[in-house]
């Protein structure tokens, strides 16, 4: 293709390349690549929190099947209550379902709070990812995890 483009003038060659790129199908994420991306995201969140909170007990948790207890373990409130963190690295938002999942997993772990950390498209820095929780959860977190 480069020999062919070399015979065209610059503007036409640029147009041909641009049009060709638009026609290329976008690669679809496989189950394997999705798991790999999820694991990498969870690991980056755990490493960031461990460094920022100066706590080497914070780490990515192994999957627990039906009684899942969140993706990150070792996070505590200021009063010592456990915090469940559910990580999501997907293109489509499903906040209500994710919050229900985090709350269920908080119950499975006897944690006081469950939150969702979800990936911002095009942003690699773990410090710049989104955290979603209910207002009640935020109030409890600010109160050290105590029930209101």
Structure tokens at 129: 């990812």
List pLDDT tens digits, range 80-138.
Answer: 999 999 999 999 999 999 999 999 999 999 999 999 999 999 999 999 999 999 999 99
> Is the residue at 99 inside a domain?
yes
> Is the residue at 38 inside a domain?
yes
Instruction: Write the DSSP symbol of residue 76.
Output: B
> Is the residue at 10 inside a domain?
no
> Is the residue at 124 inside a domain?
yes
> Is the residue at 96 inside a domain?
yes
Better pLDDT: 28 or 16: 28
> Is the residue at 81 inside a domain?
yes
Mean pLDDT for 59-65 is 82
> Is the residue at 17 inside a domain?
no
Indicate the SS3 state at residue 118. Answer: strand
The number of residues in the chain equals: 148
Structure tokens at 78: 């200021």
> Is the residue at 21 inside a domain?
no
């Amino acid at each position: 293709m480069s020999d062919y483009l070399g015979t065209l003038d610059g503007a036409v060659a640029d147009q041909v390349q641009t049009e060709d790129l638009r026609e290329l199908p976008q690669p679809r994420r496989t189950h394997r690549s999705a798991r790999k991306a999820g694991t990498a995201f969870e690991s980056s969140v755990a490493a960031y929190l461990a460094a920022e909170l100066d706590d080497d007990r914070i780490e990515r948790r192994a999957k627990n099947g039906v009684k899942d207890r969140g993706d990150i373990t070792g996070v505590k409130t200021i009063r010592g209550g456990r915090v469940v963190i559910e990580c999501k690295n997907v293109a489509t938002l499903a906040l209500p379902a994710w919050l229900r999942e985090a709350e269920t997993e908080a119950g499975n772990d006897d944690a006081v709070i469950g939150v969702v950390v979800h990936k911002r498209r095009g942003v690699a820095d773990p410090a710049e990812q989104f955290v979603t929780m209910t207002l009640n959860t935020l109030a409890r977190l600010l109160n050290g995890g105590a029930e209101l």
